[in-house]
A and B are shown apart, each in its own frame.
Chain A
Amino acid sequence: MVDRTQPITRITTFAGWGAIALLLAVSLGSLLAVWLNTDISAGFTPADFRIIRFTLTQAFLSALISVILAIPLARALARYDFRGRQLFITFLGASFILPVIVAVFGILAIWGRSGLFSNILQHPLNIYGLTGVILAHVFFNLPLATRLILQGWLSVPTEHFRLCATLGMTAKDVTKHIERPILHATLPAAFLTIFLLCITSFAVALTLGGGPRATTVELAIYQALRFDFDLPKAALFATFQFMLCTTIALLVLSFSKPTRFSIGLDRPAKRWDGQSRFHKYTDISLLTLAGLFLFLPLAAILIKGIGHLPKLPASVIPASINSLMISLTSATICISLALIIASLIIRLTKNSPRTARAIEGISFLSLVASPFVIGTGLFIMIFPFVSPFKLALPITALVNAIMALPFAIRIILPTMQRAEASYGRLADSLGMSQFARFRLAIWPRLKPSAGFAMGLAAALSMGDLGVITLFASPDNATLPLTMYRLMASYQTDAASAVALLLITISLTLFWIFDKGGRIEHRIR
């Protein structure tokens, strides 16, 4: 911090630690609340260890396959420019933000026993089992992996590629000098994010897993909390999940190696490598395959829902408004927290890199936390003071913000680090005030990432069916909850229409914030 002429105001630092405290209160505090409400007397049985083993196996395979498939896909998107590319990239995110139950039905419409492929093959496919679980998890997470890797790819200053072209480098050389270092920096975090997401999978794993073999820790937590009301067992599982995931997170993050690319001039990226006919054809076929894999289930949901739109019940209007309010509030909170925490991490990196690392690790916490435990813990904390129903919407917005925070930080932090490294000193030497410094030097470079993060947070919150189930009264139901309640009253047709409405709103929100086109550096 010696190279600053402006002293750092205390307020921003306080805000940073405040944000961390909030994150900790919601993720760890809620777990603590569950613990304190119980007598500690639980222990693991052999059956529990089977559950833990299955949880880890499916999460590892899902994350590995998602990331491996995402590498060529991201590369194709980075170097092959085609009409509709931005739209493709936006819609790529769609499967990630789908409510679980909708996605499962979409996948079954394509891969199920009476799905598209079974009809074409005239023989029922049976995906139930580990295959089904991994298929669904890759469907969910391939887009996220692709976006995270693509973001790293596009962060390479275009001047580097120009230099490569001038030096007559082949695609192989570019891979060695540019792509591999970029992957080294982005892959571990992408893998980790997806791994942790899959750890807390529950309905997908059970439904497509074909039976109790496919029981995950999250189901055990749900069972303990909602079915047996065995709080000690729930707390034990949740704590174990926490510790295990934290260990894995630290391990994986230690593999990540930041890039040391120099600064560019923010010109639009242009690639000279990988333009040969061979590369073009492989890129095109890759994009087509991935497109079919990701968009066919969505098309199925669209086709199913569109005919039933007239059956939409009147209650979708207040539900949509509730969902939108929650979603926008949640995205706002999420992005504010992410910016505050990211700048705290950057500020700490110089003088106390260990603390910075630790905070980066903490920012993954809410991914590992079970939504059921968070919900129950908050319930225990709030209930003595005020009726949880009255706080249903703000609580849901806050929890959703915290749940989306790991993604937001993951998206924002690298860009902010780069902007800081490139222009921070210049801004300091110009003696800019903090606000001007952020507005002129950092924000323009951060905008695309911030938009993506905010879109993601908004859309994720829109489709969430976690804490709201514990807090909602009939009057403040959200859209996913309405959909679920319709399904529970035989109204599957109306539910499919609500699903379509939900996806449309989520995607629109995502598109507005993300605007596909802004994923590249286009400052002027």
Chain B
Amino acid sequence: MKTLTFFAVGFGLACATQTIAQDKPELTVYTYDSFVTEWGPGPKVKQAFEAECNCTLNLVAAGDGAALLARLQLEGAQSDADIVLGLDTNLTARAKATGLFAEHGQQKQDFNIPIEWHDTTFLPYDWGYFSFVYDNTKLENAPDSFEALAAMSDDFKIVIQDPRSSTPGLGLLLWVKAAYGDRAPEIWSGLAPHVLTVTKGWSEAYGMFLEGEADMVLSYTTSPAYHIFAENDATKSAALFNEGHYMQIEVSGKLAASDQPELADQFLAFMTTDKFQTLIPTTNWMYPVITLKDGLPSAFDTLIRPADSLIISADEVEAIKKEALEEWLTALSQ
């Protein structure tokens, strides 16, 4: 038994001493899981930034956007993070309230997003619209509004994400609220028979849709671009809704307690340059926040472009979210 204990302790020590001393300055960026994978923007962003900063860029994955903020709150000012990349505007007010973030300090820039950007703490790096994605070989006339969706026959099923555990799920909640205001409970009662199930996160829901469990899934207008670009598969489409589509704008912020403030500034500036932005469409499958020199990949030409962009301002989200969540729970728990 003793040898086993030694083995365990040795293993622990081996892991603890793994980090090799580095003389280059290190910039630590906390982000969400899909950003750091081989298919996400992470590896290319790291390469591109390290080529010009003479530093080491550490990308640390910490779950999804909401988990990211919780992680930061857990660590507080002692956090190793210099930058947090991957919050969205539904979270920024809460993030700001923690007092952990510093002003981004970047010059005002005209971003290529449907709204004016005034936030002085967080900088956007990509954006997209939530939408329902369907298989166009199985469904010819996709619903064109929440009301049309509610009016579909009862065996028409959608999969959505839980607003209590997932950012797209929260997005849908705010989408209905932004489009219908006080009528939201009525809309949700109409949708309830069509909600096949609610998943913990985007991955489960999208996987279930791909397996043919549901007719539509809550995702992004840009999702079909992935299938066209990477799989040469044009069977996925996003349904255009007359109410307009709710936007998700993803942002980064600098930690006040960062020990590399200059590097952090350099990274934030880099983030809105063409070098970083050009990676976004085909790795993060979202829209870049600037007009790219080479334009968007052709797969993006086929995507629907909503006429109206809906968004609830960051300061109002917290109050509205609480009410909307109650309404959602009531409607779907019947």
Query: Could you list which residues of chain A lie within 8 angstroms of chain B, going by C-beta atoms?
Result: 47, 50, 101, 104-105, 108-109, 112-114, 124, 128, 202-203, 206-213, 219, 222-223, 225-227, 229, 313-315, 325, 329, 332-333, 336, 339, 376, 379-380, 383-384, 386-387, 389-394, 397, 469-470, 472-474, 476, 484-492, 495
Contacts and interface: CB of A to CB of B under 8 A. Distances in A.
A223 B200 CA distance: 10
B165 interface: yes
B21 interface: no
Nearest to A393: B15
A393 B199 CA distance: 28
B274 interface: no
B184 interface: no
B63 A492 contact: no
Nearest to A496: B207
B251 interface: no
A207 B197 contact: yes
A209 B200 CA distance: 12
B317 to A, nearest CB: 13
B196 interface: yes
A34 to B, nearest CB: 10
B39 A491 contact: yes
B198 interface: yes
Contact of B200 (A206, A379, A387, A490): A206
Interface stretch (B175-183, B211-219, B259-267): B211-219
B96 interface: no
A490 B333 contact: no
Interface residues of B, number: 68
Contact of A47 (B7, B212, B223, B329): B329
A212 B332 contact: yes
B268 interface: no
24 contacts: A108-B211, A113-B196, A203-B204, A210-B197, A211-B332, A212-B198, A222-B165, A223-B164, A225-B70, A315-B37, A329-B11, A333-B4, A333-B8, A383-B75, A384-B78, A391-B15, A392-B15, A469-B63, A472-B61, A473-B61, A474-B61, A485-B36, A487-B203, A488-B203
B131 to A, nearest CB: 16
Contact of B18 (A209, A386, A390): A390
A227 B165 contact: yes
Given A336-B4, A485-B37, A492 B60 contact: no
A109 B211 contact: yes
Contact of A226 (B19, B63, B211, B230): B63
A488 B33 contact: yes
Contacts of A105: 207-208, 211
Contact of A487 (B61, B207, B328): B207
B27 interface: no
B165 A492 contact: no
Contact of A213 (B18, B39, B66, B333): B333
B37 A207 contact: no
Contacts of B75: 383
The SS class assigned to the A binding surface is helix
Nearest to B157: A113
A199 B81 CA distance: 35
Nearest to A494: B39
Contact of A474 (B11, B42, B197, B201): B42
A206 B199 contact: yes
Nearest to B208: A108
B300 interface: no
Contacts of A386: 16
A281 B211 CA distance: 37
A208 B204 CA distance: 11
A78 B128 CA distance: 59
B155 interface: yes
Contact of A104 (B62, B204, B285): B204
A207 B212 contact: no
B16 A474 contact: no
Given A109-B211, A128-B197, A207-B200, A489 B34 contact: yes
Given A226-B70, A491-B39, 9 more contacts: A50-B333, A108-B208, A203-B200, A211-B333, A229-B69, A329-B11, A474-B36, A486-B37, A490-B39
Nearest to B19: A390
Contact of B285 (A128, A472, A490): A490
A210 B7 CA distance: 46
Contacts of B285: 490
A212 B39 contact: no
Contacts of B165: 219, 222-223, 226-227
Nearest to A401: B8
Contacts of B38: 313-315
Interface in B59-107: 59-64, 66-67, 69-71, 73-75, 78, 80
Contacts of B15: 390-394, 476
A325 B58 CA distance: 24
Contacts of B12: 391, 394
Contact of B203 (A209, A329, A484): A484
Given A213-B333, A336-B5, A219 B74 contact: no
Interface in B158-200: 162, 164-165, 195-200
